[in-house]
Structures are given as C-alpha cells and as structure tokens.
Amino acid sequence: MERAARAFWLRSPEKGEIRATGLPETGPDEVLVRTLYSGVSRGTETLVFQGRVPESQYEVMRAPFQEGHFPAPVKYGYLNVGVVEDGPPGLLGRNVFSLYPHQTRFVVPASAVTVVPDAVPPGRAVLAGTVETAVNALWDAAPLVGDRIAVVGAGMVGCCVARLLAGVPGARVQLVDVDPDRAAVAERLGVAFAPPSRAAGECDLVLHASATEAGLARSLELLGREGEVVDLSWYGDRRVSLPLGEAFHSRRLTVRASQVGSVSPARRARRTHADRTALALDLLADPAFDALITGESAFEDLPDVLSRLASGALPALCHRITYG
C-alpha cells in the first residue's frame, strides 16, 4: 500500500503549495485514511491564508492536526472526509469525517475519526464541522418556540444556523445578507430572506455571522427590548466598534460570544466533542444542506482556489475539494 501523500501548505501569506510527505506505519489504535473530499472553510481559512491570525490567538486557532506555525509555513484545515484503508476491522472501508487539513492520505488515532452515517453522502459530510458550529451556537442561544429570530450573515455558518432554526416550531426565522443572490439559498433552506435595510425587527434573538462591523451593529438594531445577539463571527486581527450608546442600556440588550472550540456550557456536563460531531453528521442526512456546496475543484488546484477565495474573485459558501 502506498505510504506517501501530498498536502497543501501555506508557504507564506497568500502563497500556497502542494508538498510531498511521508506517512508513518499504522499503529494498533490508528487508522490510515484516504481523503475523498475536503472543504474550505472560507471565513477562517482565508484569514489564515492572508496571514491575519493575531499573534495572541496563535495557540487558540491551532487546528487539531496542524503542522507548522502561524503565520507560515503552516498546514491548516479541518473539514475532511475519507475512507479508512487500514485500521481496526470495525472501521476498515468506512467513510469517516475528521478535523484534518487538506492532504491525500494521513494516519491519525482511531478516536479522531467519526463514521459518516449511511444516510449521508460523503460529499455532503464535509459540512460536518460547520454544522457542528451551528449546533453549538443553538445550544448557546437556546431559541424558544415562537421566537422572532434573525440570522445576520448568510455564509456557511449563518446558513447552517438558519436551517437548524427552521425546525423550531412557530419561530419567525429570517436570513439577512447584503448579497441578494443569497435569497435563493435561503429558499432552499426553508427560511425567509431580507437585505439588512428590510429585515424584520423586534427580534427576541439575533445570531450574527457576517464577520463585519456593520452586520454586528445591524444585529443590535434588530433586537426587541431585552433581546440578545449571539456573535459567531471571528474578526481575525480587525478591531470592531459597537454602538453601545443610544438605546443599548435602556433597552437592556445583550451581546455574547459563541465559539465551537469548547462545548457550550449549556451542554458541557452531558455532551462531549465526539457527541457533538456525531450529532452534526446525523443532521446532515437533510438534503437541504446541499445548497451550501457552491463549487468544486481538484486538490491540485487548491493553491489557486484559496488565492481566488481570499481575493473575492471566487464567491462561495463551501468550496469542496476533490481527490482523484
């Protein structure tokens, strides 16, 4: 069996390359995975590609199987679906999801992979990490029956959040974005769409995922009295100003953060990271999530693909990478 692989590395900010790498022998509690698909998490990975991870966040932002160090050279990524070619009999031949960078083959502990359910196509399973972020966000936000909810920012995370919220009985769910083309995506996700200027206000809850200062400010404006914004965005090295004067205090508004690195405190005592990943994969049996796969390229083209995603020349929600 082939014991070599190829991996994508960021050589320097905005300069990527494919490198050859060797593979260790598979140990008794390890698996050898051949990658079928990986996904580019556009928001986070383009910030990494541009070298915009703040030095204070170097350790926090390390991916589980990252090699190298920020800003570069670094091997980064965390949306990987492959097939087990060597390992414990119960995993051999199974499709699995793992938080591994863009690489053709790799060896990891068996505990680091999660079996993709038979009802979930492997090409859709690359969204598991993003759906997991959405699950954690809803555990943090705790939406209630009949709530008036806005999701500001129709990127990968915002769209996944909106689809999960669509199942809350009686809830008014609106996906808000400056891009009118996102209206078609919202329709496939089963939620209403509005540009920021026409979004419905008096919300009980707003989940913000646009990673922009304007989006966060508009999120506050959409709240009703004593409403809450749960911010899912990561701003990299940018400073963000908030309008905390005006009616912020008199209306007793709240802004708080949600981040997938830790299981939400609302479930931490009863759910593990593995439980959360398995739940995300189960939820991906829903074909509506296919709306988030908006492009596909071969692994060999990944350096150019990331450059085009970072510059905005290639618009995308999730851009899927295929491995021949």
Average pLDDT over residues 65-74: 97
Q: Is the link from the previous residue into 71 a cis peptide, with omega within 30 of 0?
A: yes
Angstrom CA distances, 211 to 32, 133, 216, 242, stand at 36, 15, 8, 13
Using left for φ > 0, alpha for ψ between -120 and 50, and beta otherwise, residue 158 falls in alpha
Lowest model confidence (mean pLDDT) among 31-35, 97-101, 235-239: 235-239
Q: Would you kindly state where each structural domain of the chain is located, as residue ranges?
A: 4-124+288-322, 130-257
Lowest model confidence (mean pLDDT) among 1-5, 137-141, 237-241, 296-300: 1-5
Instruction: Give all strands (DSSP E) within 129-267, no chain letters.
Output: 148-152, 172-176, 192-194, 203-208, 223-231, 254-257
pLDDT (0 to 100) of residue 246:
82
Q: Which amino acid is at 156?
A: M
Helix, strand or coil for residue 150?
A: strand
Average pLDDT over residues 82-108: 98
CATH architecture label of 4-124+288-322: Alpha-Beta Complex (3.90)
142-197 pLDDT tens trace:
999 999 999 999 999 999 999 999 999 999 999 999 999 999 999 999 999 999 99
pLDDT (0 to 100) of residue 44:
84
Q: Domain 130-257 is in which class?
A: alpha beta
Answer yes or no: are the C-beta atoms of 134 and 112 closer than 8 Å.
no
pTM of the model: 0.93
The tokens for 186 are 């919202």
Average pLDDT over residues 129-144: 97
pLDDT (0 to 100) of residue 160:
98
All residues at 6 or more sequence positions from 104 whose CB lies less than 8 Å from its CB, including other chains: 5, 6, 7, 34, 35, 299, 323
Helix, strand or coil for residue 274?
A: helix
191-216 pLDDT tens trace:
999 999 999 999 999 999 999 999 99
pLDDT (0 to 100) of residue 291:
97
d(CA 305, CA 194): 30
Q: How confident is the model at residue 1 (pLDDT cuts 50, 70, 90)?
A: low
Average per-residue pLDDT for the chain = 95
All residues at 6 or more sequence positions from 189 whose CB lies less than 8 Å from its CB, including other chains: 159, 162, 163, 166, 175, 288, 291
d(CA 48, CA 319): 16
d(CA 151, CA 206): 6
pLDDT (0 to 100) of residue 2:
61
Q: Give the rounded percent of residues in the chain with a pLDDT score beyond 90.
A: 89
48-66 pLDDT tens trace:
999 999 999 899 889 999 9
Answer yes or no: are the C-beta atoms of 145 and 169 closer than 8 Å.
yes
